[in-house]
Structure 1
């Protein structure tokens, strides 16, 4: 199977609110998001690495700590109400960070984040995340944990990143599992003349 090395785009919208501890209109919002993102990446450090080609269409994930791309943008003449019901629309494309696929693969950030501040005080939080590194569930896991850290709650469930047991082509680290169900084993053969003796004086009761 041949698949493209792409990034999956996602965008979230948040209206301005005065009831939250950190309002979207606060001047320190972006600094707080960047700080919480950095602390979240301590646990999700592979997202700060890069893919390195190793030949034959295969890649290594180099956890080199080169970082993620964080973009700050403003749309002061636009409010969230101007976006309608926020259904899927190509008009949202400017709110999602773009990957320069013309550059070598080893230079592509695995995670790109764009925070767009609207004139109404709301924000758009756009993601481009490498589908070669995470699937839908693991991407959502990262976003949820970043949200927890941003709220000051800390990491709730750290990712399990040890993939050593899944390496293909290496000798197994454990015995091959063996299961012998009794219903698939041949039953013993019972002789029809059980209990009788033969001419040698040997009694035969059961033969396996």
Structure 2
């Protein structure tokens, strides 16, 4: 988890292959805490702009090398995670 996925030139074949560029940018870790908010305060979790503020925003419109390999969000009640994956 040391870096980002890149498409590298394959010397043996025509085309590209997936590699990890070890640049220290592989994991996004976010910690959140609120002393006065409870899960019941959010009701039915209807999608809204306010709810989007609770989730780390990762721009996935750019090149594949701009995506973190893993995203962790730690809260006192537990942890959520997302893992990027590639298929050729």
TM-score, normalised to structure 2, is 0.57
Query: Which is richer in strand?
Result: 2
Check conservation: 2:60, 2:66, Cα contact below 8 A. Answer: no
Counterpart check, 1:53 vs 2:12? no
Larger radius of gyration between Structure 1 and Structure 2: 1
Query: Which is richer in helix?
Result: 1
Q: Which residue of 1 aligns with 2:86?
A: 132
1:90–1:53 CA distance, 2 compared to 1 (3 A): same
Instruction: Name the structure, 1 or 2, with higher relative contact order (CA <8 Å, separation 6+).
Output: 2
Structure 2 unaligned regions, length at least 5: none
1:57–1:73 CA distance, 2 compared to 1 (3 A): farther
Counterpart check, 1:90 vs 2:32? no
2: CA distance, partners of 1:57 / 1:90: 41
The number of aligned residues is 80
1:105–1:69 CA distance, 2 compared to 1 (3 A): same
Check conservation: 1:115, 1:124, Cα contact below 8 A. Answer: yes
Cα RMSD (Å) of the superposition? 3.4
1:75–1:48 CA distance, 2 compared to 1 (3 A): same
SS of match in other structure, 1:106: helix
Check conservation: 2:6, 2:21, Cα contact below 8 A. Answer: no
Check conservation: 2:4, 2:67, Cα contact below 8 A. Answer: yes
Structure 1 unaligned regions, length at least 5: 1-46, 118-122, 134-208
1: CA distance, partners of 2:79 / 2:8: 34
SS of match in other structure, 1:109: coil
Q: Could you tell me how far 1:106 is from its partner in structure 2? A: 1.6
Check conservation: 1:96, 1:128, Cα contact below 8 A. Answer: no
